[in-house]
Each structure stands twice: as C-alpha cells, then as structure tokens.
C-alpha cells in the first residue's frame, strides 16, 4: 500500500473526475490521500471531500503563494481544524521563487500557522522554495518541531539540500518526495533521497502538478504516487514493498492515525 501524503484533489480539474481518481488509486494500491488546503475560500470543499470519503484526509492552511486571499488568524486556523478528518496545519511556509519583493506578510502568515500547530498539536505541512534559511530560522523562532515542545511535520515536495533535510529531521520533521525525484534532471535531489533514512520519508504527488515519470507533462493524480515509491525503492536498492510499508507507517505515525 502507498499513501499520497499531499495532493490537491479539490482543484476543479481533479474534483470533476473523483470516481476515476479513486479507481486509479485502488488499481495502484494507493490506500489513502491527504488533500491539502491552500486558502480559506476553498477550505469547505477540502473538508467536504474528506468527510465524503473515509480514506481521504484534509488539512487547513493558506499557501504562501496566495497573495490576494483572506489572511488567516491563529484562532481561525485552530477553529477550522477542529474536526477529526483535519489532520494537519498547512500548507504553509515561504516561497521566494514564485514571489519577490517585501515578503514580510509571508513570514507573518507562516508564524501564524506554526502557532496554530502548537495549539492544536496537529503537524505542519511546510512548503519551502528558495527560502530554506528563513524557513528553518522561523521554525526555530516559533518553536516548530518536537525538540522545542512543538509538534513535528513534513517538508513537502522537497527540493532543497541534504543540509536542509538534516536540519528539518533534527527538529523531528519528515521529508516528502514528489514526482520531481523521478526526473532525469534531478540528480542532486536523488542524492539527497539516497541519504534520507526511509524512516523519515513520505511520498506525495502534489497533484494536479508534477506528474512523475513515466507520466511527466500529463495531469497528475494520487494514483501516480506509486511511481514515486517505486523510484525510491530502485534508488535505495530495496524492495518496493518495504518503501510502501515504511512510508505508510511514517504517515500514520506523523499524523497520529491508527493504521
């Protein structure tokens, strides 16, 4: 069994094809998926999906790339996360690649999510792009991670260095690899994945984006997470069943779920 730890199946291009998407998950032995919230206006749809399907979970948060969107308060995030199907806070984090200029608002929004995670004890889903130094600094300042008395979380769609991976792992975090790791051009990331212990790895699609090989360039969907798992098994030279089992166990452990 595989678990897609990060997807956006509430986006219209995927939500319109739910029966097909669920069938593909079953075909590829993908047993669960976490539908990740990106803004407050879409949150009711995300929650509705998780309520409708027993093996779909959800999160609440506002993505760092969404500039013109209602700003969440700590209280709001805490309140909206008060449902057993909401298992995480995010996605949140910093993105200095997609947006430039004065991004103090992005850092403030990130701090808000970490505070909500500490209050709710629900793990963080962190998006970081071209901003790893500030990401790790703010995580430390706000007490993210198990060391600081916060809760752990996941660095999703990881594309940073081994050094950043190690800093996150030291704080109790998991590293999630997407289809990017399967791309021929991703040699540096493959070297990182080889070093990250399997006990700290999650796998994801980030669908509808970033379809893994051999579907690169097509619309992605949770069923394709199996290709990410297969690739990591090949990279590490271990049986695919071991990757499937361990990454699924990691998911249940991080999000405090009973398998």
**Residue number with the shortest CB distance to Zn ion?**
127
What is the closest distance, in whole angstroms, from the C-beta atom of residue 58 to Zn ion in the complex? 13
Please identify, using beta-carbon distances, which residue of 78 and 125 lies nearer to Zn ion. Answer: 125
Contact residues: Zn ion, CB under 5 A: 127, 206
Rounded to 5 degrees, what are φ and ψ at 168?
-70, -45
Q: Can you list the alpha helix ranges (DSSP code H) found in the chain?
A: 12-15, 18-27, 43-52, 74-80, 104-120, 132-141, 162-170, 187-195, 225-236, 240-254
What is the closest distance, in whole angstroms, from the C-beta atom of residue 156 to Zn ion in the complex? 6
Please identify, using beta-carbon distances, which residue of 142 and 204 lies nearer to Zn ion. Answer: 204
Helices 225-236 + 187-195 axis angle, to 10: 70
What is the closest distance, in whole angstroms, from the C-beta atom of residue 32 to Zn ion in the complex? 16
Please identify, using beta-carbon distances, which residue of 206 and 221 lies nearer to Zn ion. Answer: 206
What is the closest distance, in whole angstroms, from the C-beta atom of residue 110 to Zn ion in the complex? 13
Please identify, using beta-carbon distances, which residue of 11 and 53 lies nearer to Zn ion. Answer: 11
- Pick the closest to residue 1 from 248, 253, 259, 177 (CA basis): 248
- As given in the structure block, the two tokens for residue 107 are 């850092």
What is the closest distance, in whole angstroms, from the C-beta atom of residue 201 to Zn ion in the complex? 17
40-68 per-residue burial string, b: 16 or more CB within 10 A, e: under 16: bebbebbbebbeebeebbbbbbbbbbbee
Please identify, using beta-carbon distances, which residue of 42 and 245 lies nearer to Zn ion. Answer: 42
């Amino acid at each position: 069994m595989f678990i897609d730890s990060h997807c956006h199946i509430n986006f219209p291009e995927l939500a319109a094809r739910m029966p097909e998407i669920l069938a593909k998950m079953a075909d590829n032995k993908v047993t669960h998926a976490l539908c990740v919230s990106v803004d407050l206006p879409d949150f009711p749809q995300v929650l509705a999906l998780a309520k409708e399907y027993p093996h779909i979970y959800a999160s609440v948060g506002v993505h760092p790339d969404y500039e013109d969107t209602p700003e969440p308060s700590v209280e709001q995030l805490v309140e909206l996360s008060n449902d057993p199907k909401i298992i995480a806070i995010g996605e949140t984090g910093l993105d200095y690649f997609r947006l430039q200029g004065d991004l103090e608002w992005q850092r403030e929004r990130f701090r808000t999510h970490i505070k909500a995670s500490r209050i709710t004890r629900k793990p963080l889903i962190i998006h970081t792009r071209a901003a790893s130094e500030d990401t790790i600094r703010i995580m430390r300042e706000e007490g993210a991670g198990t060391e600081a008395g916060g809760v752990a979380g996941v660095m999703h769609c990881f594309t940073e260095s081994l050094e950043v991976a190690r800093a996150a792992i030291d704080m109790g975090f998991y590293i999630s690899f997407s289809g990017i790791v399967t791309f021929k051009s991703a040699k540096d990331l493959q070297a990182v994945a080889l070093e990250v212990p399997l006990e700290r790895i999650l796998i994801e699609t980030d669908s509808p984006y970033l379809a893994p090989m051999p579907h690169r360039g097509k619309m992605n969907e949770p069923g394709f997470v199996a290709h990410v798992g297969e690739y990591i098994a090949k990279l590490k030279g271990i049986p695919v069943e071991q990757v499937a089992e361990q990454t699924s166990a990691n998911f249940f452990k991080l999000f405090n779920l009973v398998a």
